[in-house]
Amino acid sequence: MKTISANNSFLNLVFTFLGGVPLLFIIAPLAGMYLSTSFGSLGEAIGSEEVRGSIWLSLWTSMAGTILFSFLAIPLSYLLARKNFRFKNLVNGIIDVPIIIPHSAAGIAVLGIITRDSFLGRTGELFGIKFIGNPAGIILAMAFVSIPFLINAARDGFAAVPERLEKIALTLGASPLRVFFTISLPLAWRSILSGFILMWGRGMSEFGAVIIVAYNPQTAPILIYERFTSYGLKYAMPAAVLFVTVCLLIFIALRIVRRKK
Amino acid sequence: MLVVDNISLKAGTFELTNITFTVDQGDYFVILGISGVGKSLLLESIAGLIKINSGNIYLRGKNISEEKIQKRNISIVYQDTDLFPHLTVFENIAYPLRSKREKDIEEKVLKTAELVGVSDKLSRKPDTLSGGEYQRVALARSLAADNDIFLLDEPLSSLDAKSKRELRALLRKLNRSGITIIHVTHDYEEAVSLAGKIGIMEKGNLVHVATPENIFKHPKSEFVAQFIGIKNFLPGKLKSLPQSDLKEFIVNETRLFCLTEADDGDAFLLIQPEEISISNSAESGSARNHFEGEIIDIARAKIGVEVTVDIGCEVVALISAESMNSLGLKIGNRIWTNFKASACRIYN
Q: What is the mean pLDDT of residues B87-103?
A: 90
Of B69, B81, B86, the CB nearest to A171: B69
CB proximity A172 to B under 8 Å = yes
Buried b (16+ CB within 10 A) or exposed e, B231-241: bbbbebebeee
pLDDT for position B111: 93
The answer to whether residues B311 and B185 belong to one domain is: no
- CA of A164, closest CA in chain B: separation in Å? 8
pLDDT for position A3: 58
pLDDT for position A105: 93
- CA of A163, closest CA in chain B: separation in Å? 11
* φ and ψ of B263, to 5 deg: -75, 150
Among the candidates B188, B207, B226, a domain finishes at: B226
Q: How many CB pairs under 8 A join A and B?
A: 56
pLDDT for position A75: 96
pLDDT for position B227: 56
- CA atoms of B173 and B185, how far apart (whole Å): 19
Residue A40 lies in a domain: no
Domain containing residue B212: 2-226
The answer to whether residues A13 and A49 belong to one domain is: no
pLDDT for position B226: 60
Which pLDDT band, with edges at 50, 70 and 90, does B164 fall under?
confident
pLDDT at B230 over 90: no
Any alpha helices (H) in chain B, and if so which ranges?
39-47, 89-94, 102-116, 131-144, 161-176, 188-194, 212-217, 222-226, 321-327
| Residues of B in Cβ contact (< 8 Å) with A170 | 49, 68-70
Q: Residues near A250 by Cβ (< 8 Å), separated by ≥ 6?
A: A59
Buried b (16+ CB within 10 A) or exposed e, A124-134: beeeeeebbeb
Among the candidates B206, B226, B246, a domain finishes at: B226
The answer to whether residues A222 and A161 belong to one domain is: yes
pLDDT for position B152: 93
The answer to whether residues B84 and B211 belong to one domain is: yes
pLDDT for position B228: 43
Look up the CATH number of the domain holding residue A194.
1.10.3720.10
pLDDT for position A240: 93
- CA of B300, closest CA in chain A: separation in Å? 49
CB proximity A261 to B under 8 Å = no
Q: Do B78 and A167 touch (CB under 8 A)?
A: no
The answer to whether residues B250 and B335 belong to one domain is: yes
Q: Residues near A102 by Cβ (< 8 Å), separated by ≥ 6?
A: A208
Which A-chain residues 109-148 have CB contacts (< 8 A) with chain B? Answer: none
Q: What is the pLDDT of residues B148-161, one digit of tens each?
A: 899 999 988 888 88
Residue A111 lies in a domain: yes
pLDDT for position B92: 95
The answer to whether residues B188 and B284 belong to one domain is: no
Q: What is the mean pLDDT of residues B297-326?
A: 88
pLDDT for position B225: 62
User: If you ran DSSP here, which 8-state letter would residue B240 be given?
Assistant: E
| Residues of A in Cβ contact (< 8 Å) with B68 | 170
Nearest chain A residue to B85 by CA: give it: A187
Give the count of domains, chain B.
2
Q: What is the pLDDT of residues B13-26, one digit of tens each?
A: 788 999 999 999 99
| Residues of A in Cβ contact (< 8 Å) with B70 | 170-176
The answer to whether residues B118 and B246 belong to one domain is: no
Nearest chain B residue to A186 by CA: give it: B86
Q: What is the pLDDT of residues B246-297, one digit of tens each?
A: 999 998 888 999 998 888 888 888 888 889 999 988 777 788 899 999 998 8
The answer to whether residues A61 and A11 belong to one domain is: no
Q: How far from each other are the two terminal CA atoms of chain A, in whole angstroms?
A: 49
The answer to whether residues A93 and A219 belong to one domain is: yes
Q: Do B147 and A169 touch (CB under 8 A)?
A: no
- Please give the average pLDDT of every successive group of 10 residues along chain A, which has 261 residues: 66 91 92 89 90 94 96 96 92 92 91 84 82 88 95 96 93 94 95 92 92 91 94 90 91 79 59
The answer to whether residues A14 and A72 belong to one domain is: no
Q: Do A174 and B49 touch (CB under 8 A)?
A: no
The answer to whether residues B199 and B323 belong to one domain is: no
The answer to whether residues B215 and B108 belong to one domain is: yes
Neighbouring CB atoms inside 10 A of A68's CB total 13
The answer to whether residues A102 and A184 belong to one domain is: yes
| Residues of B in Cβ contact (< 8 Å) with A169 | 84, 95
Strands B149-153, B74-77: pairing is parallel
- CA of B9, closest CA in chain A: separation in Å? 19
| Residues of A in Cβ contact (< 8 Å) with B72 | 171
The answer to whether residues A7 and A92 belong to one domain is: no
Residue A109 lies in a domain: yes
pLDDT at B217 over 70: no
The answer to whether residues B138 and B282 belong to one domain is: no
The answer to whether residues B241 and B156 belong to one domain is: no
The answer to whether residues B99 and B171 belong to one domain is: yes
Give the count of domains, chain A.
2
As a whole-number percent, the residues of chain B with pLDDT over 90 amount to: 45
The answer to whether residues A236 and A143 belong to one domain is: yes
Nearest chain B residue to A189 by CA: give it: B86
Look up the CATH number of the domain holding residue B290.
2.40.50.100
The answer to whether residues B141 and B201 belong to one domain is: yes
Among the candidates B226, B255, B288, a domain finishes at: B226
ipTM of this complex prediction, to 2 decimal places:
0.79
Listed residue (A241, A238, A255) closest to A44, CA to CA:
A238
Of A167, A173, A187, the CB nearest to B145: A173
The answer to whether residues A26 and A54 belong to one domain is: no
- Average pLDDT taken over every residue of chain B: 88
Domain containing residue A14: 1-35
The answer to whether residues A100 and A49 belong to one domain is: yes
The answer to whether residues B14 and B151 belong to one domain is: yes
| Residues of A in Cβ contact (< 8 Å) with B76 | 167-168, 171
- CA of A170, closest CA in chain B: separation in Å? 5
Q: Do B86 and A171 touch (CB under 8 A)?
A: no
Of A171, A183, A187, the CB nearest to B47: A171
The answer to whether residues A20 and A89 belong to one domain is: no
Listed residue (A137, A126, A111, A142) closest to A205, CA to CA:
A142
Q: Do A168 and B70 touch (CB under 8 A)?
A: no
| Residues of A in Cβ contact (< 8 Å) with B74 | 171
Look up the CATH number of the domain holding residue B136.
3.40.50.300
The answer to whether residues A73 and A51 belong to one domain is: yes
**A37 Rama class: left (phi>0) / alpha (psi -120 to 50) / beta:** beta
